[in-house]
A and B are shown apart, each in its own frame.
Chain A
Amino acid sequence: MSRTGITSIGVLTGAAIYTAIFFYISNITVQNTPALVIETAVPYVLKERAAQPVRLKIPSMQVNALVEHVGLTSDNAMDVPKNRANVAWFEPGWRPGENGNAIMAGHYGIRNRKPSVFDNLHKLRKGDKVYVEDEKGVTISFVVSKIRRYDSNADASSVFTSSDGKAHLNLITCEGVWDKTAESYSKRLVVFAELE
């Protein structure tokens, strides 16, 4: 979380205190079987997938982060990176550069006076550049197209899906007010970027 965010929370808490005082199979045997119906073989033509991402770079935020691969949590939400300095790429989805929405998430918040990778994600503006380096050493360039804020439990269809047939990279982090009980911030900040 940025110092501004912490300060905001501190200000709110402080003001409050001050006025009052503050997510089979069996029978596998080798055996004789009858012949199957003869059909024509289907030639194998599979479009090669893009390489997997290994590093995210956002020069305007001084971010140069390793990419962890994540999937779903037990409650069917996208998982988050284990290391606060890294970002998490949603592996079951699209790869950066493929036609679809590649999703990356990063932590927000300061603990033990150490920042997290997406503390300043809110500072990105339309037109800023975002780069993804893949496992083959190729750098893919994206440009920020819009920034949106969602409730923490909002329908995320527009984040995870698109229908324009283009390659997108969407970056997600938290912001808003910390809910100690839910152990979650109230909002999700999503930066939408398109392949340049």
Chain B
Amino acid sequence: MVGDTCAPIVLISGDLNLDAKLDLNETWIHRCTTALSVTHTNTVVATGWANGISAVDIASATVVVGAPIVPPLIHVVKVPNVFLLPAPGGAVMYSYTVTNPGSEPLSNVSITDDKCTGLPGRVVGHPGDINKNNLLESSESWSFTCQTNLTQTTTNTGTAEGTANGLTARDFAVATVVVGVPGLPNAGIAPDADYMLWNIIMLAGIFSIVVASQRKQVIK
């Protein structure tokens, strides 16, 4: 976790098995405290690694100083239906879920992606808009899909935006899909030296017995 204007960022809770790995069933909560004298937007980047590939998410939040304005917040999660395409040109379906973690309903909500063109841009009449007011409220979850064909390993960025109280909140979701056939795994354990030696001794013994018995037959 790296913040642009607040440090230190401290892990409060969430690593249930204390293995320092963010497991699928865990939610880690961090905290950072700072003093503000003017309106300020703080940005934090969370990075994790798995399978030799990094995953990044970026979150920002504004605090308005000196005016009774509640800034907006927006959050987008993007997940590809497959993380590896064995051959170039295969189709990937990305799903996006946009939510409002703030308290102000968001207008002018839009969703775009820099490398997938099937998204609507500004959203009107989404089925997830329960009260049909075209505002993304904190109780709502608006979801989308976008399909594209990838010819090479691709990292793309989805962007969600929404407006409230004259301010626009923006969030990004980054996902990587690997294209290409992996090599076969090397799952061999080196043979025990002592076990090999034991086999050699056994073989030598058997060989000696065979030779001895043949000699015996020749003598007869």
Footprint of B on A, CB under 8 Å?
1, 6-7, 9-11, 13-15, 17-18, 22-25, 28-33, 35-47, 49, 70-81, 84, 88, 90-94, 100, 105-113, 116, 118, 150, 152-157, 159-161, 172-174, 178, 180, 183-185, 188, 190
Cross-chain contact A13 with B196 (CB below 8 angstroms)? yes
Cross-chain contact B185 with A105 (CB below 8 angstroms)? yes
Also in contact, A46 and B122, with CB within 8 A (given A29-B170, A30-B41, A77-B184): no
Cross-chain contact A160 with B181 (CB below 8 angstroms)? yes
Name the 9 nearest CB pairs between A and B, nearest first. Answer: A71-B51, A10-B199, A109-B189, A44-B143, A77-B183, A174-B188, A92-B84, A14-B203, A92-B83
A41 to B128, CA, bound (A): 10
A-B CB pair tally, cutoff 8 Å: 249
CB neighbours (8 Å) of A178 from chain B are 188, 190-191
Cross-chain contact B167 with A30 (CB below 8 angstroms)? yes
Cross-chain contact B181 with A155 (CB below 8 angstroms)? yes
Cross-chain contact B199 with A188 (CB below 8 angstroms)? no
Also in contact, A28 and B202, with CB within 8 A (given A1-B191, A73-B52, A80-B186): no
Number of interface residues of B (CB under 8 A): 75
Cross-chain contact A13 with B200 (CB below 8 angstroms)? yes
0/1 string, B154-191, CB within 8 A of A gives 1: 00010001010011111010100010111111111111
Minimum C-beta distance from B96 to chain A (A): 8
Stretch of B7-15, B26-34, B54-62 with 4 or more beta carbons under 8 angstroms from chain A: B54-62
Cross-chain contact A31 with B157 (CB below 8 angstroms)? no
Cross-chain contact A11 with B199 (CB below 8 angstroms)? yes
Which residue of the partner chain A has the closest CB to B61? A30
Of the candidates B82, B108, B144, the one whose C-beta lies within 8 Å of that of A94 is: B82
Cross-chain contact A78 with B185 (CB below 8 angstroms)? yes
Minimum C-beta distance from A175 to chain B (A): 8
Also in contact, A36 and B122, with CB within 8 A (given A11-B199, A157-B87): yes
Name the residue in A44, A105, A118, A157 with the highest tally of chain B Cβ atoms < 10 Å from its Cβ. Answer: A44
Cross-chain contact A111 with B81 (CB below 8 angstroms)? no
Cross-chain contact B185 with A46 (CB below 8 angstroms)? no
Minimum C-beta distance from A52 to chain B (A): 8
Cross-chain contact B207 with A18 (CB below 8 angstroms)? yes
Cross-chain contact A42 with B188 (CB below 8 angstroms)? no
A79 to B169, CA, bound (A): 40
Flag whether B101 is at the interface (Cβ < 8 A): no
Flag whether B118 is at the interface (Cβ < 8 A): yes
0/1 string, B136-149, CB within 8 A of A gives 1: 00000011111000
Minimum C-beta distance from A68 to chain B (A): 12
CB neighbours (8 Å) of B123 from chain A are 39, 41
Flag whether B2 is at the interface (Cβ < 8 A): no
CB neighbours (8 Å) of A118 from chain B are 187
Of the candidates B56, B93, B121, B192, the one whose C-beta lies within 8 Å of that of A111 is: B192
CB neighbours (8 Å) of B166 from chain A are 32
A116 to B72, CA, bound (A): 55
Also in contact, A77 and B186, with CB within 8 A (given A24-B56, A30-B168): yes
CB neighbours (8 Å) of A160 from chain B are 86, 181-182
